[in-house]
Amino acid sequence: MPDPGPSPLQSVLPSRPVLPFGTAAPPVEPPGPAGAPPVEPSGPAHSAAALRRILRGPSGLGTVSLHWARPEEPPAAAQPVTPAAMRPIPGLYHHPVPEPDPVRVEELSRRIKSWAVDEVQAFPPEWEDQFDGFSVSRYMVACHPDAPTLDHLMLAARLMVAENVVDDAYCEDGATTPDVGGRLLLAHTALDPVHTAKEYQPAWEESLHSDAARRSYRSAMEYFTAAATPAQADRFRHDMARLHLGYLAEAAWDETEYVPEVWEYLAMRQFNNFRPCPTITDTVGGYELPADLQALPAMQRVIALAGNATTISNDLYSYMKELRSPGRHLNLPVVIAEKEGLSDKEAYLKAVEVHNDLMHEFEAAAAELAAAWPDPRVARFLKGVAVWVDGNHYWHASNTYRYTLPDFW
């Protein structure tokens, strides 16, 4: 498939002031009465042009200050960057991203490893190669190019590492145990604190240091809540509860050897999903999408579609890795093949089409919302989610340590 070039949400970078940690964005009146004004009928050209105008951000008198603060670090290294070896899935709709700033990647790698090894003991020494091969720094710099400082990037990197520690230690490839529900709930309390009788509170607090998963969640959440507003922290807790519900459904189907219908699998994957990563784009970017705008049904639809597209992208890039794992690892191609009687190749190619449909639905919903709610914070958040989707694809397509593709082409 020819490279479709930058997504409509990528074409301009809205300019916004960077707010220091924890500062709530100044209130801006939504554009109209309670309900959003009707989106005028528009064809693709109209909405793309409207979207470009909206995403360009405010212009005219008094807006000159609405420009991003330059990152505190020195500019990127002048030497040419060796682009990562990319192998995009043929026919997969995606947008290219600029090579992540190598200066930021190198410094973030140093800081996140120090946190993982020295602060929280996130993994045993025998997992060090896997940790390095995950390339979390290249991932996060690609997904959050608007992060004003490395401290902001560390917020995302710690949570990404912690989320994967929990997935690997509790849910992946044979790690699932019959008591996974109890273990996940207790790990979740490292994000969503227990408030209980005085006599029992110390035992809970001590539990947060008892395994790598809880140590990682507790520490990453402590840094996050220090930087985020209360509303952003509560949003994240809610998104992580969704994620853990998805893990539990996956574990229950694994335990009972149930193969879901395709729609059931897609429903589960909307919860066992990258959602908690793009939805922190405002905290990592140093601004806030207010809770009332984040909760808009139209915004919720955009977030769900973006998360679904990113997660089915993972199903496609991790297909070979999962075929090699113990037992039957459910992913979209495997479920389509089983439930629709297709060959492995036919099912995989159909899963690529499902991914592409999700991407087009996401971009259309984002463009419609940006036009309906021309609030600069909505535009910036939508762009941040789109950039996360594209950065996530870049990481999957270039992580040849972790992923290989089937020979279907």
Q: 291-320: which residues touch Mg ion (CB under 5 A)?
A: 314, 318
Q: 315-374: which residues touch Mg ion (CB under 5 A)?
A: 318
Instruction: Pick the closest to residue 167 from 311, 284, 324, 359 (CA basis).
Output: 311
Supply the angle between the helices 212-227 and 230-256 in degrees, to the nearest 10: 150
Residues 6+ apart with CB under 8 A from 356: 91, 92, 93
Binding to ligand LYHC5SXD by residue 243, rule CB under 6 A?
Answer: yes
Quote the distance between the C-alpha of residue 409 and its chain's center. 29
Residue 241 to residues 62, 93, 117, Cα–Cα distance (Å): 42, 30, 26
In which residue are the tokens 């914070």 written? 377
Please select the residue that binds ligand LYHC5SXD; options are 311, 313, 392, 398, rule is CB under 6 A.
311
Residue nearest to ligand LYHC5SXD (CB): 318
**Beta carbon of residue 58, minimum distance to ligand LYHC5SXD (angstroms, whole number):** 33
Q: 143-202: which residues touch ligand LYHC5SXD (CB under 6 A)?
A: 160, 163-164, 167
**Beta carbon of residue 48, minimum distance to ligand LYHC5SXD (angstroms, whole number):** 30
Binding at 232: pick from ligand LYHC5SXD, Mg ion, none (beta carbon under 5-8 Å per type): none
Beta carbon nearer to ligand LYHC5SXD, 47 or 279: 279
Binding to ligand LYHC5SXD by residue 392, rule CB under 6 A?
Answer: no
Buried/exposed 195-231: b ≥16 CB within 10 Å, e otherwise: eeeeeeeeeeeebbeebbbbbbbbbbbebbbebbbeb
Binding at 163: pick from ligand LYHC5SXD, Mg ion, none (beta carbon under 5-8 Å per type): ligand LYHC5SXD
Backbone angles phi, psi at 270, to 5 degrees: -75, -15
Please select the residue that binds ligand LYHC5SXD; options are 219, 313, 318, 392, rule is CB under 6 A.
318
CA distance 55 to 185: 40
Contact (Cβ atoms closer than 8 angstroms) between residue 268 and residue 293: no
**Beta carbon of residue 221, minimum distance to Mg ion (angstroms, whole number):** 24
Residues 6+ apart with CB under 8 A from 34: none
Q: Which one of the spans 124-132, 266-274, 278-286, 348-356 is the region binding ligand LYHC5SXD (CB under 6 A)?
A: 266-274
**Beta carbon of residue 214, minimum distance to ligand LYHC5SXD (angstroms, whole number):** 16
Binding at 167: pick from ligand LYHC5SXD, Mg ion, none (beta carbon under 5-8 Å per type): ligand LYHC5SXD
Number of residues counted as binding ligand LYHC5SXD (CB under 6 A): 13
Number of residues counted as binding Mg ion (CB under 5 A): 2
Binding at 282: pick from Mg ion, ligand LYHC5SXD, none (beta carbon under 5-8 Å per type): none
Instruction: Pick the closest to residue 406 from 327, 356, 307, 333 (CA basis).
Output: 333
Binding to ligand LYHC5SXD by residue 313, rule CB under 6 A?
Answer: no
Binding to ligand LYHC5SXD by residue 225, rule CB under 6 A?
Answer: no
Binding to ligand LYHC5SXD by residue 273, rule CB under 6 A?
Answer: yes
CA distance 253 to 354: 22
Residue 149 to residues 62, 71, 146, 226, Cα–Cα distance (Å): 26, 6, 9, 15
Please select the residue that binds ligand LYHC5SXD; options are 145, 276, 285, 376, rule is CB under 6 A.
276
Binding to ligand LYHC5SXD by residue 314, rule CB under 6 A?
Answer: yes
Contact (Cβ atoms closer than 8 angstroms) between residue 298 and residue 366: no
Q: Under DSSP, is residue 395 helix (H, G, I), strand (E, B) or coil? A: helix
Residues that bind ligand LYHC5SXD (CB under 6 A): 160, 163-164, 167, 243, 272-274, 276-277, 311, 314, 318
Residues that bind Mg ion (CB under 5 A): 314, 318
